């Protein structure tokens, strides 16, 4: 797909962190982001992505700023690019409830890095908190819109988790997981009040936790 001059300029602007690190001698910079930290149901998913030096994908941006159609297209472009390296980490509901969502998210990030076929020499992570890695690690608030590799990771994590929730919708169709992906929408809360939680609901999250204590 051809890239317009304005889009090329935008992509170059969000590549600034990778460019600076590359100039400092880092060759394999992995961007990391997660999806599913806030929902009431389903796993938390993290992705790590190492783009090629000249990797440019039209409309690549924070996954939350994109339509589902564009996310799916970018997911296919990124994962089918022979130069791109990526890894996915998935942490299930039982583990989330056992160790809490923050620790589960950090664990998903570690698993995503471990799933990479090549080891990164620098890591960029969206947000304020990061797992303990043995290599240089930088956190970027709103990094999914400020770093091209984090943006790519955000798309991989989001699409992966959305696909999981679509599959889980077939197992538990009463809750509307395909529509809201497990987030606490009015529709989801209404279904929870009617049917109660199912096995993929996070029992350590409110209001599910309180409902369980009452029963």
pTM for this one?
A: 0.95
pLDDT over threshold 70, residue 1: no
| Tens digit of each residue's pLDDT (9 = 90 or more) over 98-151 | 999 999 999 999 999 999 999 999 999 999 999 999 999 999 999 888 999 999
Domain ranges across the chain: 5-214
* Interval 44-69 mean pLDDT: 91
178 touches 165 (CB < 8 A): yes
pLDDT over threshold 80, residue 213: no
**Domain 5-214: CATH architecture, name and number where available:** 2-Layer Sandwich (3.30)
The sheet carrying 85-91 orders its strands as 85-91, 44-50, 29-35, 122-126, 136-140
pLDDT over threshold 70, residue 207: yes
* Interval 196-212 mean pLDDT: 92
Sign of CA dihedral 105, 141, 159, 14: negative
For position 211, what pLDDT does the model report?
80
44 touches 37 (CB < 8 A): yes
pLDDT over threshold 70, residue 215: no
Q: CA-CA-CA-CA torsion for 58, 77, 153, 50, nearest 10 degrees?
A: -100
């Amino acid at each position: 797909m051809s890239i317009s001059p304005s889009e090329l300029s935008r992509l170059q602007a969000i590549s600034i962190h990778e460019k600076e690190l590359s100039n400092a001698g880092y060759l394999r910079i992995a961007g990391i982001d997660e999806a599913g930290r806030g929902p009431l149901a389903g796993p938390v998913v993290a992705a790590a992505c190492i783009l090629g030096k000249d990797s440019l994908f039209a409309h690549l941006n924070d996954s939350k700023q994109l339509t589902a159609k564009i996310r799916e297209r970018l997911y296919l472009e990124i994962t089918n690019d022979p130069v791109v390296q990526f890894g996915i980490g998935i942490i299930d509901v039982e583990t989330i409830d056992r160790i809490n969502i923050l620790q589960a998210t950090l664990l998903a990030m570690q698993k995503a890095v471990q799933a990479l076929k090549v080891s990164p020499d620098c890591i960029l992570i969206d947000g304020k908190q990061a797992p303990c890695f043995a290599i240089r690690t930088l956190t970027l608030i709103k990094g999914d819109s400020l770093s091209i590799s984090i943006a790519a990771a955000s798309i991989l994590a989001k699409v992966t988790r959305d696909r999981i929730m679509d599959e889980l919708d077939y197992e538990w169709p009463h809750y509307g997981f395909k529509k809201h992906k497990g987030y606490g929408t009015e529709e989801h809360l209404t279904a929870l009040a009617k049917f109660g939680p199912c096995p993929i609901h996070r029992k350590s999250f409110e209001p599910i936790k309180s409902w369980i204590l009452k029963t």
